[in-house]
Structure 1
Amino acid sequence: MPSPARTTAKAAARTAGVSLGTYAILVAQALLARKRIGTTADRPPSGNGLYGDELAGEPLHCLLLGDSTMVGYGVKDLAHTPSALVGTGLSHLLDRPVRIRNESTVGARSRDLMHQITASDEQRPDLAFILIGANDITHQVPAKRSARRLAAAVSRLRSLGAEVVVGSVPDFGTIKPLPDPLRTVCRYWSRHLARRQTVAAVEAGARVVSLADVLEPLLLVKGDALFGDDRFHPSADGYSTVCGFLVAAGAAQWRSREEQPVEVGTVEQMPLGEAAEWASEHGGTEVAPAPRGRRWAAVLRRR
């Protein structure tokens, strides 16, 4: 079995079309980055349950799907897990109880989404959130295939009657343990996948929020505090930032279903391809299906 570090370097090199010598450098850098990042055996507490139970109304059933970022890898306090952050935030914004079920798993790839959806069959979701893609990159999954699997998961959720919010894969260029040129080619790869994800998910009926570089501006203020002990996954502050964008997108998507459009920011319509390109370079941008047709998108800039 090839090592994850070698796999990452090979994927990056293949994408960028670099020479054999440069590939050797990328392998060495990936091995060093893997050593710097490290691992932790700790698992965050489960955040499944009811939030805002003091509020009136029927609970909104929310399903969380994806990889270690949606799990909350590295977090020790229940209140800082994505489950709790999304549940608490949504209940406040929508003024109703929210029941969270998190089926995400550490190491998950886009191919695992269907299984995660099946595992939640006992309760049909009203609203689903997906964070996926990082492990597709490290396992050399072609972006087109990864995006197609994401679209299939979105379509399945839509057939169950759920509204869907997808957080695109973040910009790998913000990961400090990755040195150049590895960081540069990984940034290219992650942005390429983010564009593919955006087009595929929006065409399938989801609202996509770009997580591109959402942590980068805050790095100037908080520095390493936005990353956890492994220097790869977010810290409590980092998870709070990411989930803040997800919650805002989720509330907007649910309100659009109930014909209560309350958008905070500038909304415009543009061709879906252009929207995906813009979003991949501007974190926090939301891209949603537009009334003009399948190849158009409504773009909301919250930053």
Structure 2
Amino acid sequence: MVERVLPGLRMLAVAVGSLGGLSAGAYGLLNTQSKRARTVIGVPKDRPFLADGVYLPDGTGPVARGAALSFAVFGDSSAAGLGAESADRLPGVRLARGLAEELGEPVRLVTHAVVGSRTTHLAAQVDAALTDPPAVALVLVGGNDVTARLGIAESAALLARQVDRLLAAGVAVVVGTCPDLGAIRPIPQPLREVARRYSLALARAQARALAGSGAVVVPMAALLTRHFVDRHAELFSPDRFHPNGAGYGLAADMLLAPLCAAAGLWEGRRS
């Protein structure tokens, strides 16, 4: 997500200045702070690990082949797991193993998420997935939309459109709404508060757009912000922007039960 957010911090300052009627001095402060945040956070040189494959109920994997329930992950760096120290600590891997344990049968992880993606990029990810639709899908996207030239209502509508495509294909879908960017300390105040308000507004819009769709919606900011604020050093990677393995593990713990529920594992819909 950092690849899009860093250049977008200045756009956010511009948007606030134009829409909020800020004074020249206040706008200048936000603009200066956006430059400072880009310098402090930097640009990541690494890519997330890729550990797609089949995970077994005993916790082993990935293995290359075998019949398995297909679990696909869509979205941005928060879905891809940028910042995790090893493949075992990716959110998709943690969730694939958890699903396999609950199912008592193998689960195949397929990652479509791409670092830097906005909601506008979801259509291409869904296109690729629908050539062989998964049984269960997780979508985590929105953080990069906060600082792009994309309106909140438009972003939420685009998300709903792609979720509807997955649901129409018979996929059980879980969506984690936009995280709270106010938890990211390298973004200085008052710019951090601006980012917080935008991200929380987008999360609410995402939830409204998906209401009644059949997707399971998980309010990530409500569940995680307190932990990431209070345990910042423990849960963020060295870039202080993306979670580390422990941070992704916490998020996965919040998402596993909704994924199981979406797949019908606890409602008698699976044998």
Residue 162 (1) aligns with residue 210 (2): no
Count the aligned residue pairs. 258
* Identical-residue share of aligned pairs (%): 36
Residue 249 (1) aligns with residue 253 (2): no
Residue 145 (1) aligns with residue 179 (2): no
* RMSD of aligned alpha carbons: 2.3
Structure 2 counterparts to residues 104-123 of structure 1, below 5 A: 104-123=113-132
Deviation (angstroms), 1:16: 4.5
Q: Secondary structure at the match of 1:214?
A: helix
| Structure 2 letter corresponding to 1:168 | T
Residue 45 (1) aligns with residue 45 (2): no
| 1:270 counterpart residue number | none
Instruction: Please say if residues 63 and 101 of structure 1, whose CA atoms lie closer than 8 Å, have aligned partners that are also in contact.
Output: yes
| 1:218 counterpart residue number | 227
Deviation (angstroms), 1:14: 4.7
Cα offsets for 1:56-111 (capped at 9, x unmatched): x9622111000011111122311011221111121123332211100111111111
- So what's the TM-score if we normalise by structure 2? 0.87
Structure 2 counterparts to residues 72-91 of structure 1, below 5 A: 72-91=81-100
Instruction: Please say if residues 15 and 185 of structure 1, whose CA atoms lie closer than 8 Å, have aligned partners that are also in contact.
Output: no
Instruction: Please say if residues 14 and 27 of structure 2, whose CA atoms lie closer than 8 Å, have aligned partners that are also in contact.
Output: yes
Deviation (angstroms), 1:187: 1.0
| Structure 1 letter corresponding to 2:29 | I
Of structures 1 and 2, the one scoring higher in RCO (CA 8 A, sep 6+) is 2
| Structure 1 letter corresponding to 2:183 | T
| 1:136 counterpart residue number | 145
Change (3 A) 1:221 1:31: closer
Moved more, 225-234 or 214-223: 214-223
| 1:290 counterpart residue number | none
| Structure 2 letter corresponding to 1:169 | C
Separation in 1, partners of 2:229, 2:122: 34
| 1:268 counterpart residue number | none
Normalized per residue, the structure richer in strand is: 1
Structure 2 counterparts to residues 230-245 of structure 1, below 5 A: 230-245=239-254
| 1:9 counterpart residue number | 13
Cα offsets for 1:219-263 (capped at 9, x unmatched): 47633121111111101111111122121211111127x7349xx
| 1:174 counterpart residue number | 183
| 2:31 counterpart residue number | 27
Instruction: Please say if residues 83 and 100 of structure 1, whose CA atoms lie closer than 8 Å, have aligned partners that are also in contact.
Output: yes
Instruction: Please say if residues 177 and 231 of structure 1, whose CA atoms lie closer than 8 Å, have aligned partners that are also in contact.
Output: yes
Separation in 2, partners of 1:91, 1:254: 12
What is the aligned counterpart of 2:204 among 190, 195, 201?
A: 195
Residue 36 (1) aligns with residue 44 (2): no
Deviation (angstroms), 1:17: 4.6
Change (3 A) 1:91 1:233: same
Change (3 A) 1:112 1:27: same
Q: Secondary structure at the match of 2:221?
A: coil
- So what's the TM-score if we normalise by structure 1? 0.79
Deviation (angstroms), 1:52: 1.5
In structure 1, runs of 5+ residues without a counterpart are: 262-303
Deviation (angstroms), 1:47: 1.8
Residue 259 (1) aligns with residue 263 (2): no
Separation in 1, partners of 2:180, 2:165: 27
Instruction: Please say if residues 13 and 185 of structure 1, whose CA atoms lie closer than 8 Å, have aligned partners that are also in contact.
Output: no
